Structure 1
Amino acid sequence: MIENRTFDEIRVGDTASVVRTLGEADIQLFALVSGDVNPAHLDAAFAATDTFRRVIAHGMWGGGLISAVLGTELPGAGTIYLGQSLRFARPVGLGDTITASVTVKEKRPEKAVVILDCRCTNQNGEDVVTGEAEVIAPTEKVRLPRMELPEVRISDHDGYRKLIEMTRVGDPVPTAVAHPCSAAAIAAAADAAEAGLIVPILVGPEAKIRAAAEAAGKDISAFRLVPAPHSHAAAAEAVALVRSGEAKLLMKGSLHTDEMMGAIVPSATGLRTERRISHAYLMDVPEHPTPLIITDAAINIEPTLAEKADIIRNAIDLAHVIGIAAPKVAILSATESVNPAIRSTLDAAALCKMADRGQITGGVLDGPLALDNAISEAAAKEKGIVSPVAGKAEILVVPNLEAGNMLAKQLTFLGGADAAGVVLGTRVPIILTSRADLLRTRLASCAVAVLLARAATKAAPGLAVSGASGA
């Protein structure tokens, strides 16, 4: 309950306080409400410099705590703020525990005015905020249920920042961009170049590319431009640049995915390897502790058992590149029980046995698993599933393209997730971006591909092979 103290009940010397520990979410919420995006508060790299050392000069946050005491404790509900003078004596750092207190200093009966001494101290007893507040105290008694605050979820995209940080060491990667003839496509390539991820080689009709660059407001004068009369020719020429070694990555422009794959798939002229080509989304889901790799959501419509084995191998290779040494692979179905009437459960059981026999290596497999018991330890425990994967999955292998596409888009558009898409199992990684992608997700897709390309070069100098054995 919230119960106020009327002017007549208040005595000089009365005091009240609240205690709060400053966390990352507090800083982000403060910035969201106030518009204060000072990098000293929000940017970990900037705040880690000698000047700031990740210490947050958030005196105003302390001032907000004082306001909370005045509005909910003393005098409480019905208080009217007239004025406040505060001095910020010390900065407040992440993890500091602040006690905000007010003490009645003076009462002025003519207008029910109360003067209060205000003070915030840290866990060491040091003053961080001092000052004085002038309020009109309520004259009527109020006792109400304390309002339940709405749940606020913050998408801080920490996974994206970590991913970009992993690409900082190393040169930008030459990338053939097939048919970048829309503003979105040319912007994706230019933004990735500006971020130091790629060196674009633009392949397509020169007039259309230049018009798209003008529409996007991007300067492409520093980029190599390889003429091609139409989208089919652009896809073929971009693939040829990869085969010749001039490009180490391939990026989809404004042509359809099927059209681009048509140039990639041919054995003689394309980029196929021994592996089945597959697609994976690397997803950063708010409040989920680890990245999620979802595969396949774009290439294989109804994969066979053998194709699923390669899809898993490709996804495990991707997990290794982003630093997951032994990824936990959940093979999804509608149920965690093997049911002869549901082919995906039979495939899951067979894939797990293949892993037991050393036919799929580098990860820990389990399945079939329903989505809930794949990612929720509580759901797995409730159903009595004992498994090193259940509740902790890092790779989600879906039964077919429809399931993967819907799952990824549900997480993106309803769950606020970032989705970086990449095609695996080819001679080089292939970057797939969509017109609906945010700049952040476009750059994340490029970053994943750059990491894969660099890892392949280290593993086999002189070759640019991703996710392929003997290719």
Structure 2
Amino acid sequence: MQFIENRTFDEIKVGESAELTRTLKPADIELFAVMSGDVNPAHVDQEYAHSDMFHKVIAHGMWGGALISAVLGTELPGPGTIYLNQNLKFLQAVGLGDTVTIRVTVTEKNAKHNHVTLDCLCTNQKGETVIEGEALVVAPTAKVRRPRVVLPEVHLHERGSRFEKLISATSSLAAVPTAVVHPCDAASLKGAIEAGEKGIIVPVLVGPRAKIEAAAQDGGCDLSGVEIIDVPHSHAAAEQAVALARAGKVNMLMKGKIHTDELLRPALDKATGLRTERRMSHIFALDVPTYPKLLLISDAAINTFPDLPAKRDIVQNAIDLAKALGIDLPKVALLSAVETVTSNLPSTVDAAALCKMADRGQITGGLLDGPLAFDNAISKAAADAKGIVSDVAGKADILIVPDLESGNMIAKQLIYLAGADAGGVVLGARVPIVLTSRADGVLSRIASAAMAQIFAHSTNTGPTP
């Protein structure tokens, strides 16, 4: 265990010094900007910074000042120090990649009030002075020795940024006529209306008119020019929406305030539904703050205990969506509890079979590996620690779960413990179905509609330009 220990006033000698060295990283600038609220473009806007006088992104001046404070508070004098005065002169900018050494040196002691004066000097890797100044502190009189606190790992994440990128990708695409099924609450109605305003869908609202109009009033939605198909209840809304899709009058469905099974029941009808030769499956799209890219998880909402043929379709649906979203060769991790094939765990046998099916061309367009445990699928360090050599491990775009229960738990844990934003879409039907949770916000609903729109255009099921 590392300890932090101070120098009391009596122990301090004139001329003694302490220092620390730090290399400026983008995260340092971002964290300082978040903490201080200082978003001067010289620090956070690369395009502007290159046109500014320094021609590069530079640190906030007080980043160096904070490092001086760190030396005073942790090294010399250390814990118990009270800051009284600090003057600083900034001589040169510190840019990304620069390494600065902060050194404080005792120049004077005053026993009357335990005052200590220290010279403060910051130099870069070239030996050039970037900051100089002087600090006056009250030095501690009691000895302090404490375990050094381990700082938490900080992950910077712009909430919703990947979903906003998805939405931006639809700007050149024609809006897709979409039956919004029973949008009788403010959240689902607002998501549909805003998706319409962004040119993602042309909403056709299917449900009881009075309830839809009441939801519009609650959510402040303008229904001018929006088609409403008045039906008596949610069952009829689902049946009517499916009929519209079968007739080619809409090219997408979007869930409103209706249970998933109630929406999917008419879609799964063998005679009048939207079945194809492909098994329908749900795909979660998760923007996880601690993961470097959009993460797809399937199936966590429709297929309870899929057999091998169903898993083949689940995998293919997820690959098709990933490719439509611009991932050239999606990396697919087939999850289980372990990384080795064992007959005691059927999911490991299925994973091995799916990999072989991909080798034989029964699954196309993706790079499969499995079985892989969750940690190995999303963490390269975990995979390396277990000696797993794989082009998928630690870099997965898609997680295929053994069954609905495990998939739903993983997705909900990422949402509620890791702060992930979630969207969802059902593929394998004649048209994509936007399927979100009742707890999802407007951004998630719009992003889900954007995914479905992109997929519809990629498979030529969208409107004719």
Q: State the TM-score, normalizing by the size of structure 2.
A: 0.83
**Aligned position for 1:414:** 417
Change (3 A) 1:2 1:281: same
Verify: 1:230 aligned to 2:233, yes or no. Answer: yes
Q: Match for 1:347 among 338, 346, 350?
A: 350
Q: Which moved more, 1:374-383 or 1:319-328?
A: 374-383
**Aligned position for 2:83:** 81
**Aligned position for 1:209:** 212
Verify: 1:274 aligned to 2:277, yes or no. Answer: yes
**Aligned position for 2:63:** 61
Verify: 1:401 aligned to 2:413, yes or no. Answer: no
Give, as a single letter, the amino acid of the residue that structure 2 aligns with 1:205.
P
Q: Match for 2:260 among 251, 257, 262?
A: 257
Q: Is the 8 A contact 1:44 1:54 kept in 2?
A: no
- Post-superposition Cα deviations, 1:352-387, rounded to whole Å, max 9, x if no partner, equal 332222121112233334434444455555656554
- Post-superposition Cα deviations, 1:103-132, rounded to whole Å, max 9, x if no partner, equal 445544432223444454555666665554
Taking the aligned partners of 1:62 and 1:205, their CA distance within structure 2 comes to: 63
Change (3 A) 1:335 1:33: same
Q: Match for 1:137 among 136, 139, 143?
A: 139
Q: Is the 8 A contact 2:284 2:424 kept in 1?
A: yes
Taking the aligned partners of 1:284 and 1:186, their CA distance within structure 2 comes to: 23
**Aligned position for 1:467:** none
Q: CA deviation at 1:430?
A: 1.7
**Aligned position for 1:70:** 72
Q: Match for 2:310 among 286, 300, 307?
A: 307
Give, as a single letter, the amino acid of the residue that structure 2 aligns with 1:82.
L
Q: Is the 8 A contact 2:280 2:429 kept in 1?
A: yes
Change (3 A) 1:374 1:461: closer
Q: CA deviation at 1:211?
A: 1.8
Q: Is the 8 A contact 2:177 2:463 kept in 1?
A: no
Change (3 A) 1:323 1:204: same
Q: Is the 8 A contact 2:424 2:436 kept in 1?
A: yes
Secondary structure of the equivalent of 2:291? Answer: coil
**Aligned position for 2:178:** 175
Q: Is the 8 A contact 1:39 1:47 kept in 2?
A: no
Secondary structure of the equivalent of 1:133? Answer: strand
Taking the aligned partners of 2:51 and 2:209, their CA distance within structure 1 comes to: 49
Taking the aligned partners of 1:236 and 1:43, their CA distance within structure 2 comes to: 52
**Aligned position for 1:100:** 102
Correspondence 1:375-386 to 2 at 5 A: 375-377=378-380, 379-380=382-383, 385-386=388-389
Q: Is the 8 A contact 2:285 2:295 kept in 1?
A: yes
Change (3 A) 1:27 1:171: farther
Verify: 1:436 aligned to 2:439, yes or no. Answer: yes
Give, as a single letter, the amino acid of the residue that structure 2 aligns with 1:235.
A
Secondary structure of the equivalent of 1:225? Answer: strand
Change (3 A) 1:244 1:40: farther
Correspondence 1:338-377 to 2 at 5 A: 338-340=341-343, 342-377=345-380
Q: Is the 8 A contact 2:191 2:443 kept in 1?
A: no
Taking the aligned partners of 1:159 and 1:138, their CA distance within structure 2 comes to: 49
Q: Which moved more, 1:279-288 or 1:84-93?
A: 84-93
- Post-superposition Cα deviations, 1:392-428, rounded to whole Å, max 9, x if no partner, equal 4332222221121112112222233333211111233
Q: Is the 8 A contact 1:372 1:380 kept in 2?
A: yes
Q: Is the 8 A contact 1:232 1:259 kept in 2?
A: yes
Taking the aligned partners of 2:49 and 2:251, their CA distance within structure 1 comes to: 35
Change (3 A) 1:198 1:45: farther
Q: Match for 1:18 among 11, 14, 20?
A: 20
Verify: 1:446 aligned to 2:449, yes or no. Answer: yes
Q: CA deviation at 1:11?
A: 5.2
Secondary structure of the equivalent of 1:453? Answer: helix
Secondary structure of the equivalent of 1:77? Answer: coil
Q: CA deviation at 1:137?
A: 1.9
Change (3 A) 1:214 1:93: farther
Change (3 A) 1:162 1:42: farther
Verify: 1:322 aligned to 2:325, yes or no. Answer: yes
Secondary structure of the equivalent of 1:437? Answer: coil
Give structure 2 stretches of 5+ with no counterpart: none
Change (3 A) 1:427 1:132: farther
Q: Is the 8 A contact 2:187 2:441 kept in 1?
A: no
Q: Is the 8 A contact 1:27 1:41 kept in 2?
A: no
**Aligned position for 1:426:** 429
Q: Which moved more, 1:279-288 or 1:90-99?
A: 90-99
Verify: 1:147 aligned to 2:160, yes or no. Answer: no
Q: Is the 8 A contact 1:40 1:54 kept in 2?
A: no
User: Considering only aligned residues, what root-mean-square deviation do their CA atoms show, in Å?
Assistant: 3.7
Give, as a single letter, the amino acid of the residue that structure 2 aligns with 1:436.
A
Q: Match for 1:185 among 177, 188, 191?
A: 188
Change (3 A) 1:370 1:70: closer
Change (3 A) 1:75 1:366: closer
Q: CA deviation at 1:347?
A: 3.0
Secondary structure of the equivalent of 2:459? Answer: helix
Q: Is the 8 A contact 2:43 2:57 kept in 1?
A: no
Q: Is the 8 A contact 1:40 1:56 kept in 2?
A: no
Q: Is the 8 A contact 2:50 2:57 kept in 1?
A: no
Q: CA deviation at 1:195?
A: 5.7
Q: Is the 8 A contact 1:328 1:393 kept in 2?
A: yes
Taking the aligned partners of 2:452 and 2:100, their CA distance within structure 1 comes to: 44
Give structure 1 stretches of 5+ with no counterpart: 465-471
Secondary structure of the equivalent of 2:396? Answer: coil
Taking the aligned partners of 2:93 and 2:407, their CA distance within structure 1 comes to: 47
Change (3 A) 1:101 1:248: farther
